[in-house]
């Protein structure tokens, strides 16, 4: 409405002098001069307004740029806020990780939970998660212990680790690879032969114990750039917690092993052997499966201790244990240091006749074994008693009694011989 009024006022202001001039109320020169002056005034105001319009446009552009900058900042802030929220959520889960992996002292259970939690929290169950452990006796050798895979049927070729795993183990440092094929630090030709499955992006961190590197925890994915520095930092935090749990698991396993294995010979202890013998006798009865027991005793063992000392006796016991284990490696068996120089062997799935043949072969191998004591070649012989479950005895106690009697009969027959229970 205002625009229409302005237009009407403008037309009246311009054309009114012309109209008055035509009616001779105003001279033509005066009207012309009036119009010319007004044209100049109009041109001046138009030009001035155009400058203001341009300034307004520039201000609008500046304001729009500021709006764009503010919107970008807001978007980044929202994104950063979301990322921080995700990080906070991740790190809050560390408490749950501590609780979950420390619920059980079994090494298998700890490793399985550690791999599963890492695969879920860091990789969102995408790609592959590999947990390698080292052997205390061979700390520079890796062995694949647990795997978690997005594709269940995908094979992991590198059971002992690839060039990336070796890099982490040797340096004891974490590793981030955004695109494996373009990383100048590694031999790409060797990489091609080691892969066995497609991956491009990976993160890996060592599990550092108190005295050695316990292993490494690794995540990889076929897509380049899948993992970032934040993922590696979170993986390192998990590895710190995991290393402590794995050390506890290893200590518990060693404690268990010491409880059931003889410290000198590494054979089963008498108590554990008796428990297993009872179980195997029950299983043999249910499955109608053969089970034979060999009772071995070293002949004149006291003479070795008297002549060469107790350290020499320990050498004899260890050598004999190794020979018995070697002689029975092809059979399903249990071996125990039953007490002193006495050993018990359970052979599963064999009747008394076959067990006698194995006992005779074992006796012959032991007789031929040379043992060096104080720079002198010497040897030992054994007396062996054989009894069969079902045929000679109805329970484990009677079986041990029958084998023991047969072994003493072998002693009475001159030693270095095998006698079957009657």
Neighbours of 174 (CB within 10 A): 17
344 pLDDT exceeds 90?
yes
The residues carrying an active-site annotation are: 341
Crossing angle for the helix pair 229-260 and 28-101, nearest 10 degrees?
0
pLDDT of residue 41: 67
Binned at pLDDT 50, 70 and 90, residue 334 comes out as very high
Q: Which of 35-49, 123-137, 362-376 has the lowest mean pLDDT?
A: 35-49
Q: How far apart are CA 295 and CA 268, in angstroms?
A: 14
Non-local (6+) Cβ contacts of 199 within 8 A are 127, 128, 180, 220, 221, 222
Q: What is the DSSP string of 299-338?
A: TTHHHHHHHH-HHHHHHHHHHHHHHHHHHTTTS-EEEEEE
CATH classification (class only), 112-259: alpha beta
**Mean predicted confidence (pLDDT) in 391-411:** 93
pLDDT per residue as tens digits for the range 12-47: 566 666 665 565 555 656 666 666 666 666 666 666
- Contact of 263 with 321, CB cutoff 8 Å: no
pLDDT of residue 324: 92
370 pLDDT exceeds 80?
yes
Neighbours of 277 (CB within 10 A): 23
Q: What is the DSSP string of 71-127?
A: HHHHHHHHHHHHHHHHHHHHHHHHHHHHHHHTS---HHHHHHHHHHHHHHHTTTT-S
Q: Does this model's pTM top 0.75?
A: no
CATH fold group of domain 270-420: Alpha-Beta Plaits (3.30.70)
pLDDT per residue as tens digits for the range 190-227: 655 555 677 889 999 999 988 889 999 999 999 999 99
Domain residue spans of the chain:
1-101, 112-259, 270-420
CA dist 320 → 53, 204, 254, 307, 411 (Å): 107, 45, 24, 18, 18
Non-local (6+) Cβ contacts of 362 within 8 A are 294, 296, 323, 324, 327, 328, 384
pLDDT per residue as tens digits for the range 68-102: 777 776 677 666 555 555 656 666 666 677 777 77
Two structure tokens written together for 354: 């076959």
CA 185 to chain centre: 24
277 pLDDT exceeds 90?
yes
């Amino acid at each position: 409405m205002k625009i229409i009024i302005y237009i009407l006022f403008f037309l009246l202001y311009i054309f009114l002098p012309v109209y008055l001039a035509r009616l001779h109320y105003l001279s033509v020169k005066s009207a012309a001069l009036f119009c010319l002056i007004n044209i100049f005034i109009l041109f001046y105001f138009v030009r001035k307004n155009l400058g203001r319009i341009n300034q307004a446009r520039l201000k609008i552009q500046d304001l729009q740029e500021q709006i764009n900058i503010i919107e970008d900042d807001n978007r980044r802030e929202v994104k950063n806020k979301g990322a921080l929220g995700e990080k906070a959520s991740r790190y809050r889960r560390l408490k749950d990780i501590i609780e979950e992996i420390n619920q059980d002292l079994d090494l298998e259970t700890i490793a399985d939970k550690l791999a599963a939690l890492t695969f879920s929290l860091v990789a969102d169950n995408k790609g592959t998660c590999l947990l390698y452990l080292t052997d205390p006796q061979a700390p520079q050798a890796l062995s694949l212990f647990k795997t978690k895979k997005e594709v269940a049927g995908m094979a992991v070729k590198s059971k002992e680790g690839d060039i990336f795993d070796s890099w982490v183990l040797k340096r004891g440092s974490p590793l981030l690879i955004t695109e494996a094929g373009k990383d100048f630090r590694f031999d790409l030709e060797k990489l091609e032969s080691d892969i066995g499955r497609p991956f491009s992006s990976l993160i890996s961190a060592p599990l550092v114990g108190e005295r050695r590197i316990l292993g490494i925890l690794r995540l990889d994915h076929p897509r380049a750039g899948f993992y970032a520095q934040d993922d590696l930092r979170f993986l390192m935090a998990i590895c710190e917690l995991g290393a402590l749990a794995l050390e506890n698991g290893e200590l518990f396993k060693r404690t268990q092993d010491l409880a059931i294995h003889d410290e000198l010979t590494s054979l089963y202890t008498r108590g554990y052997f008796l428990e297993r013998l009872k179980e195997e006798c029950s299983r043999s009865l249910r499955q109608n499966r053969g089970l034979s027991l060999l009772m071995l005793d070293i002949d004149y063992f006291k003479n070795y201790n008297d002549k060469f000392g107790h350290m020499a006796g320990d050498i004899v016991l260890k050598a004999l244990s190794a020979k018995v284990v070697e002689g029975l490696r092809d059979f399903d068996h249990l071996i125990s240091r039953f007490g002193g120089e006495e050993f018990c062997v359970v052979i599963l799935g064999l009747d008394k006749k076959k067990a006698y043949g194995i006992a005779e072969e074992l006796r012959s191998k032991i007789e031929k074994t040379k043992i060096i004591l104080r720079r002198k070649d010497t040897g030992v012989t054994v007396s062996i008693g054989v009894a069969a479950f079902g045929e000679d005895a109805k329970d484990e106690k009677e079986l041990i009694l029958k084998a023991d009697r047969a072994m003493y009969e072998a002693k009475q027959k001159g030693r270095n011989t095998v006698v079957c229970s009657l």
